[in-house]
Amino acid sequence: PGTAPTEVAPTQVCASTPMGYGSMRRKEDARFIRGQGRYLDDIALPGMLHGAILRSPFAHARIVSIDTSAAEAHPKVKAVITGETLAGLGLAWMPTLSHDVQAVLATDKVRFQGQEVAFVVAEDRYAARDALGLIEVDYEPLDAVIDARTALDEGAPVIRDDLDGRTDNHIFDWEAGDAAATDDVFARADVVAECDMLYPRVHPAPMETCGSIASMDPVTGKLVVYTTTQAPHAHRTVYALVAGLPEHKIQIIAPDIGGGFGNKVGIYPGYVCAVVGTIVTGVPVKWVEDRSENLMATSFARDYHMRGEIASTKDGKLLGVRVKVLADHGAFNGTAQPSKMPAGLFHVFSGSYDIAAAHCQVTGVYTNKAPGGVAYACSFRITEAVYLIERLVDVLARDQGWDPAELRMKNLVQPEQFPYTTALGWEYDSGDYPRTLQKALDIAGYAELRREQAEKRERGELMGIGISFFTEAVGAGPRKTMDILGLGMADGAELRVHPTGKAVLRLSCMSQGQGHSTTFAQIVAQELGISPDDIEVVQGDTDQTPFGLGTYASRSTPVSGAATVMVARKVRERAKIVAAAMLEVSPDDLEWEKGRFQVAGDPSASAAIADIAMAAHSDLELPDGVEGHLDATCVYNPPNLTYPCGAYICVVDVDAGTGQVKVRRFIAVDDCGVRINPMIVEGQVHGGLADGVGMALMQLMAFDSDGNHLGASFMDYLLPTAMECPSWELGETVTPSPHHPIGAKGVGESATVGSPPAVVNAVLDAIGVRHADMPLTPAHVWRAMRGDPIRTDLA
Ligand code: MCN
Ligand code: CUM
């Protein structure tokens, strides 16, 4: 027992480059594995200076005074910038992605431990750091709000007294669904299960931390910013708005990115300080944060306190679900999500089930913790939504003595119900949920696992089986419903085929490790019959690429991918006219066949794309009104989101003496529609499953009651390694998205979203406990087994 069945074969990598979809090796890896990646910290500009940030040791304190004279006297220091300096330039505060403001450098108060207080620019990084110690700040400590549940208490310290008329820490109330209809089904239900759960604060912790090099050319007045960003064009627009510069005077360049995971969506004070630094000194200024700074001050994730309830008939037909959420947004409301949705896409929490009524009520509060929110492969808070519903279903099954697999199978949305509109108004595009779950159960050998579990229980051994089924909504989004800071979420693409038949594709999205250079070339290859090796994908430079909102929420394939298909098809239409002129036939007589146009009924008369490209640039006479050359542009506004799904099963063994959890097996059957590169998809799934094991078992941003951050290094903030991960057993179903031009759905966050509840459900199944919060560290498991539930996030 316990060995993986052998029928799960790893994906075969194509021996030669496919002319389209298939598991080709990643084009970018030849560079990366030879150490030829070019990351922000690899860049050095002539005369460049280095910045460092002085950070607050307090979670909440008034700034009485700042004395920078000793730092300024340091022989290698070129400038010391404080909030007061910035206030003089009107830059002390910057807008956040959620229509709040955030201090660039604190002027009045510090509001979280690690907040930015002063910026030193010096000849080298070491001198800049040394000079931080010479700055004298006189703080007057204030009581801090650390537990979100006390943020709205009478008499709680008011964090945002900078905002006019603020007397409390309330940010927003938001609801979705039909409250009355939901209350109605609950009143009629035979059984109701409820559960309080915390999705604790975690951090994306990419391998590369964040940084910027800003360079203002004093002659042309052009600002060039090399920066770790997942959304170069969105950043440029924000800089333009803040600095009052036209977009063409700002160039954002994202070099190679060493992991983003949502951590590189927002604009951080350090980026703005680097810009101010170059304006003040007249030379380029580089700022790169260290690991502790990254963990303490940049975008965290989750921090959702949820009280969920689920209603069902006595024979297990789910009727309704409702939830009240308290969302901890930290000291500034800087979460990233579509503007009209302050809880992101959390309202997909009815999950994969045919549920008649659902309602959520979300309240956001300020606390003395770092701002940010969302981030970490979150699909705009679908992680929290999936965790909620998948825990509730398990709690209900346990209360009623039902099998959790059977309960799910009984309630899944059926294939014939698609397109399926949920009680919360989402239109799920496609899927075959029962088949997907059945496949996972088959790979797992579910019945046999339950038998094994029962036998082990007899012997006092703790083995658990946990299931989760998720549906995600990715590919934000339709312009009429989704924008960020007023910018509609459509993406541009430009494709140019050179005379020799090689091509350049320019995109607004930005790879952080997802392999876009490969997969987007494969899309063009599939449409035009040009080898992916001959297609260069350009991203990350706003002077070189069309406008679009960037890579997060797994939107690249659904939106930029669709734009790529459409632009390639536009080029193919032009190629058809050129081919018709070459072959002296009507375009209507031509058929497209594997990279060439051929005359219907006469395969010997044909023109390959490379010949067509040359002819398009030649003296060939084209019909009136037809432009020469072979290129096109397109902007894609998605009609709907895409809805990938998956069934995950986790098998754990728990040491009854120590509470140590070992993940023995993990089965993941994903459906992301048509797979462009199955190997890359599997890589994305592998990474996300490791994320899930990490969040469920070890990752946590904890605080003490004074707001001291207890996870500011990898000694305390634990990330999973290969040692904690089993050999993943993957499967797939493929239900193409009906509205995406190639039927592809996003997959980049699926496994991070879907796997934590499977692991938690497995551990709780093993120890026979109804609920305990993540992370299920040995200490937490051990206490849970003794019926001693604790708040895992507070020391
Ligand atoms: N893909 C495919 N077929 C599909 C769907 C996707 O071949 N049906 C491929 C895509 O072409 C792309 C990759 O899989 O190469 C991921 O595609 P997609 O699902 O569109 O996601 P994005 O490219 O938009 O990536 C964003 C997503 C997010 S939001 C986070 S967070 C995350 C993730 O990607 N961050 C990552 N995966 C990551 N992987 C790495 N290595 N590094 C990160 O920072
Ligand atoms: Cu929310 S993390 Mo990803 O969407 O960049």
452-466 residue pLDDT tens? 999 999 999 999 999
Using a 6 Å cutoff on CB, does residue 300 contact ligand 2? no
Between CA 506 and CA 511 the distance in angstroms is: 13
pLDDT value at position 367?
Answer: 98
Which atom of ligand 1 is least distant from the CA of 747?
A: 19
pLDDT value at position 789?
Answer: 76
How do the domains of the chain map onto residue ranges? 40-142+209-256+264-297, 304-476+640-785, 490-636
pLDDT value at position 1?
Answer: 39
Which tokens is 527 given?
A: 């449409």
Using a 6 Å cutoff on CB, does residue 508 contact ligand 1? no
Using a 6 Å cutoff on CB, does residue 553 contact ligand 2? yes
Which tokens is 405 given?
A: 């697999």
- Long-range CB pairs of 533-536 (<8 Å, 24+ gap) are 533/17, 533/27, 534/501, 534/502, 534/503, 535/502, 535/503, 535/504, 535/505, 536/502, 536/503, 536/504, 536/505
Between CA 327 and CA 312 the distance in angstroms is: 27
What DSSP state is assigned to residue 42?
G
Cβ count near 285 (within 10 Å): 30
Ranges of H-type helices in 495-625: 516-528, 562-583, 609-616
Which atom of ligand 2 is least distant from the CA of 555?
A: 4
Using a 6 Å cutoff on CB, does residue 230 contact ligand 1? no
Using a 6 Å cutoff on CB, does residue 688 contact ligand 2? no
Fold entry, domain 490-636: Aldehyde Oxidoreductase; domain 4 (3.30.365)
Between CA 280 and CA 70 the distance in angstroms is: 19
Tell which one of 228, 263, 264, 265 to mutate to probe ligand 2, the residue whose CB is within 8 A of the most ligand atoms: 265
Using a 6 Å cutoff on CB, does residue 497 contact ligand 2? no
Q: Whose CA is nearest to atom 9 of ligand 1?
A: 681
Beta strands in 329-399 (DSSP E): 357-365
**Sign of the CA dihedral 298, 299, 302, 303?**
positive
Tell which one of 264, 335, 376 to mutate to probe ligand 2, the residue whose CB is within 8 A of the most ligand atoms: 376
Contact 649, 466 (CB under 8 A): yes
Between CA 121 and CA 280 the distance in angstroms is: 10
Q: With 0-12 CB in 10 A as exposed, 13-18 as middle and 19+ as buried, what is 441?
A: buried
SS3 category, 305: strand
> Can 40-142+209-256+264-297 and 304-476+640-785 be said to share one CATH topology?
no
Ranges of H-type helices in 7-77: 29-32, 69-72
3-state secondary structure string across 718-753: CCCCHHHCCCCEEEECCCCCCCCCCCECCCCCHHHH
Measure 672 CA to ligand 2 centroid, in angstroms: 17
3-state secondary structure string across 460-491: CCEEEEEEEEEECCECCCCCCCCEECCEECCE
Query: Which secondary-structure segment (H or E) carries 62?
Result: strand 61-67
Between CA 479 and CA 72 the distance in angstroms is: 49
Q: Tens of pLDDT along 353-393?
A: 999 999 999 999 999 999 988 999 999 999 999 999 999 99
Exposure string of 720-749, with b = 16+ CB inside 10 Å and e = fewer, is: beeebbbebbbbbbebbbebbbbbbbbbbb
Using a 6 Å cutoff on CB, does residue 236 contact ligand 1? no
Residues in the chain: 795
Q: Find out if CATH 3.40.50.970 is the number for domain 304-476+640-785.
A: no
Tell which one of 263, 429, 484, 557 to mutate to probe ligand 1, the residue whose CB is within 8 A of the most ligand atoms: 557
Place of tokens 């994320």: 691
Between CA 542 and CA 318 the distance in angstroms is: 49
Q: How far apart are the first and last CA of the chain?
A: 40
Measure 297 CA to ligand 1 centroid, in angstroms: 25
Q: Whose CA is nearest to atom 38 of ligand 1?
A: 514
pLDDT value at position 6?
Answer: 45
Instruction: Report strand pairing: 223-227 vs 250-253.
Output: parallel
Domain 40-142+209-256+264-297 architecture: Alpha-Beta Complex (3.90)
Measure 749 CA to ligand 1 centroid, in angstroms: 7
With vertex at residue 145, the alpha carbon angle to CA 142 and CA 147, rounded to the nearest 5 degrees, is 155
Between CA 262 and CA 294 the distance in angstroms is: 13
Between CA 736 and CA 69 the distance in angstroms is: 64
Contact 747, 681 (CB under 8 A): yes
Measure 764 CA to ligand 2 centroid, in angstroms: 28
Query: Which secondary-structure segment (H or E) carries 227?
Result: strand 223-227
Which tokens is 499 given?
A: 């005379």
Which tokens is 56 given?
A: 């607050």
Nearest by Cα to 688 from 640, 633, 734, 756: 756
Residues 6+ apart with CB under 8 A from 377: 204, 261, 262, 383, 688, 691, 748, 749, 752, 753
Which tokens is 441 given?
A: 């159960």
Which tokens is 536 given?
A: 């260069």
Which atom of ligand 2 is least distant from the CA of 265?
A: 5
Rg, Å, the chain Cα set? 27
Nearest by Cα to 252 from 266, 268, 239: 239
* Whether the predicted interface score ipTM is above 0.95: yes
Residues 6+ apart with CB under 8 A from 168: 152, 156, 158
Using a 6 Å cutoff on CB, does residue 464 contact ligand 1? no
Per-10-residue mean pLDDT for the chain, 795 residues long? 52 90 96 96 98 98 98 98 96 96 98 98 98 98 98 98 96 98 98 98 98 95 98 97 94 98 97 97 98 97 98 98 98 96 98 98 98 94 98 98 98 98 98 98 98 97 98 97 95 98 98 98 97 98 98 98 98 97 97 93 94 97 93 98 98 97 98 98 98 98 96 96 97 98 98 98 98 97 92 86
Which atom of ligand 2 is least distant from the CA of 264?
A: 5
Nearest by Cα to 649 from 725, 733, 754, 727: 754
Between CA 564 and CA 516 the distance in angstroms is: 12
